[in-house]
Structure formats: C-alpha cells, structure tokens
Structure 1
Amino acid sequence: MSGHGFHVHGPHDHELEHAAHSNDDFASRIAVMTAIMATVGALFGYQGGATQNDAAMFKNNSAIKKTEASNLWNHYQSKSSKQNLAELAIEIPGVDTKKYKADAERYKSEKEQIKKEAEALEKVSLDWEDKSKAALHQHHRWAQAMTAVQIAISLAAITLLTKKKWLQYASYGVAGVGAVLAGLAALHI
C-alpha cells in the first residue's frame, strides 16, 4: 500500500482474503494448521540458532585452549634450550659443573611438568572441538526441521488456494518429516 491510499493486491491476495472471511471449514482447518506450523517452526528456528551459537562458543573455547597449549609448548622449548645450554656449559673447562648439572636437572624437571600441562590443554581443546562438531550437527538437524516446516506452510497456502485435498495431506506429511527431524535434533542424532 502506498502513502496515497492506492492499494495493489497480489494475484493470490483476493483469494486468501475471501477464504479468510468465509465460513469454509476446509479453509479454517488449513489456517489453524498453518498457524500451528508457524509456531512450531519458530521454536525450531530458536533451537537452531541456540545450537549454532553453542557450536561457535565451543569452537572458540577450543581455540583458546589450543593457544594456551601452544604457549606452554613455547615455554617447554625455552626450557629445552636452557637445559641444552647448561649441559654444554658442563663441558667447558673451569666452570662450576655442579651448578650447571643442577640447572640442567631443574630444567629437565620443569619441562616434564610443562609437557603434562600442554598435553592436558591439547586434550581439553579436542574435547571442545568435539562438542562444537556435535552442536553444529544438531544445528543442521534443527535447520532441516525448520526448512521442512516452511515447505509445509507453503504447501498449506497452495492448498488453501487450490482446495486440493492431496496437497493438504502432502503438507501434513512434510510437517511430519519436520517433526521427525526435530526429534532427531532433540535426541542429538
């Protein structure tokens, strides 16, 4: 509708308005079914968005843990270099070999602890990665369910315009597929 009071109907608007204002039980059933499917579709859409956000958050957590592990591996490498230098210093004539042997042992001991921490962080990173993949798979299921519901709503609109009973059943069938997909998403399958 324009600001000047001029209103243009789409090709199907008149038929939809006529069906909405009639006492047609068929049209009423289709209208109620469409409203229910739209509500269910909104719920599926919400769930899809929530799982997509979870997947992104889990992926981010994985990257953080991977970075922390990388930092520890750099620290490990630094201790290795210091250990190597201490071991080389032992061979230099006239130096305090006890001091450098103690330093080399200390660096070796510190490296082992750093290595354990880095490996633990890598495992945590992989766990977050797995959670992200699972959430993304669940998101795809919710998106498939939402798509099926949207197709069912479209079929319902066509059913209302054509008054074809078989399209009504097709709409129910596609909505059922959406419900099955939503069930799979809810069960993490």
Structure 2
Amino acid sequence: MSDHGFHVHGPHDHAVEHAAHGGAHGGSDDSFAGQVAVMTAILATIGALFSYMGGATQANASLFKNNAAIKKTEASNQWNFYQSKSSKQNMAELAMVLVAEDKKEPYRAEVDRYKKEKADIKVAAEKLETESTDWDKKSDEQLHLHHRWAQATTVLQIAIALAAIALLTRRKWLEWGMFGTAAAGVIVGIAAMLHI
C-alpha cells in the first residue's frame, strides 16, 4: 500500500488471494495439489531419516566386520604362539628321553612350563575367536538392518514418484496408490526400527 491511500495488486498478490478464496475450480484442484504437496514433503522427510539410518547401519556393518577381522588375526597370532610353545615342549620332551636320568629335571621343568604357557595362550586365543564371532554376528545384524532401511527408503521414493504423477495427471487413484505405497514404506521402516 502506498502513502496516498491506494493499493496496486501484483501478480503474486492476485494468486495468493485466488488460492485463499478457493480458486476458480471451487478449491478442489488446489486442495488436491496442496494435499499431495504436503504428503510429498512428509514422505521426503521420512525418507531422508530412513536413508540416514541405512547409511549408519551400513557403516556399522563395515566397522563391525573390520573388528571381527582384527580379532581373528589376533587369535591367529595366539595360535601361532601356541604352536611355537608346542614345538619347544616337544624338543624338551625329546631331550628328556635322550639325556641321562640325572639331567632330566631341567627339561621336565621346561615341559611343565610350556604346558602352562600353552594353556594360557589357548584360553586367550579362544577368547579372541569368540570375540571375532560376536563381531561377525553384529555385522550381519547391521547389514540386515541396512537392507531394511534401504527397502523402506526405496518404497518411499516410489511413493514420492507416484505423488508427482498424481499431481501432474490429477488422478485420484494415483493419490491413493501414493498413500498405500507410503504406508508400505513406513511399515518396512518400522520393521527396521524394531530390528525385524
């Protein structure tokens, strides 16, 4: 409005007033477009959240698989150490057979020491193998969840595409298809959230 008391309408003002009063078609087309537009925005937001969770679970799966490989390598190192102690024990046992009776005691002590060391090493190696298996299971669970989130995101993207087609063609049945597809995507997302 100007200082002189009269108001000049611009094209935008006219369009806003037109939309506010229901448009030339009694509001049905604008209502349809508005409903589809709001639903598209909601689906895009939910899809972005699902996509983020899909990326996070994929990163976790990789991290957990890496941890499993590290633990498996550490377990392998322990088993190699165990094998080394076994070889030394075998050498001490052979020496006990070959030396005179009065010189067997130091070798007997070595055999006992190697047996104890091997037992400790075996416990450590088995613990590391269990940890590796646990990390592998966690990785597999995260990968499964990643697939669920990816499925949910894909279905929501299809719903958004249906919304665009419905908006362009003004077909009510496509709008209902969008709602059905969106519901399916949300259900798959809920399944991912519940770790199903």
Q: Same fold (TM over 0.5)?
A: yes
- Structure 2: distance between partners of 1:29 and 1:93: 95
Structure 1 position 31 matched with structure 2 position 37: yes
Please list the CA deviations of residues 39-88 of structure 1 after superposition, one character each: whole Å capped at 9, or x if unmatched. 11000000000011111111111111111100000000000000000000
2:100 is the counterpart of 1:100: no
* Equivalent runs, 1:61-140 vs 2, <5 Å: 61-94=67-100, 96-140=103-147
Give the root-mean-square deviation of aligned CA atoms: 1.3
Question: Which sections of structure 2, spanning at least 5 residues, go unmatched?
Answer: 1-17, 24-29
Distance across 1 between alignment mates of 2:58 and 2:183 = 23
The equivalences for 1:48-59 within 5 A come to: 48-59=54-65
Calculate the TM-score normalised by the size of structure 1: 0.87
Amino acid at match of 1:135: Q
Whole-Å Cα distance in 2 between the matches of residues 147 and 96 of structure 1? 77
Question: What fraction of aligned residue pairs are identical, expressed as a percent?
Answer: 59
Shift of 1:96: 2.2
Question: Could you report, residue by residue, the CA deviation over 1:9-61 in whole angstroms, capped at 9, with x for unpaired residues?
Answer: xxxxxxxxxxxx97511111111111111111000000000011111111111
For residues 70-117 of structure 1, the C-alpha deviation after alignment (integer angstroms, 9 at most, x for no partner) is 000000000000000000011113482111111011101110110011
Detail structure 1 runs of 4+ shifted over 2 Å in the superposition: 93-96
Q: How many residues align?
A: 169
1:141 — aligned with what?
148
User: Aligned AA for 2:122?
Assistant: K
Structure 1 unaligned blocks of 5 or more: 1-20
**Among candidates 154, 179, 193, match of residue 186 of structure 1:** 193
- State the one-letter code of the partner of 1:171: M
> Could you tell me which residue of structure 2 aligns to residue 165 of structure 1?
172
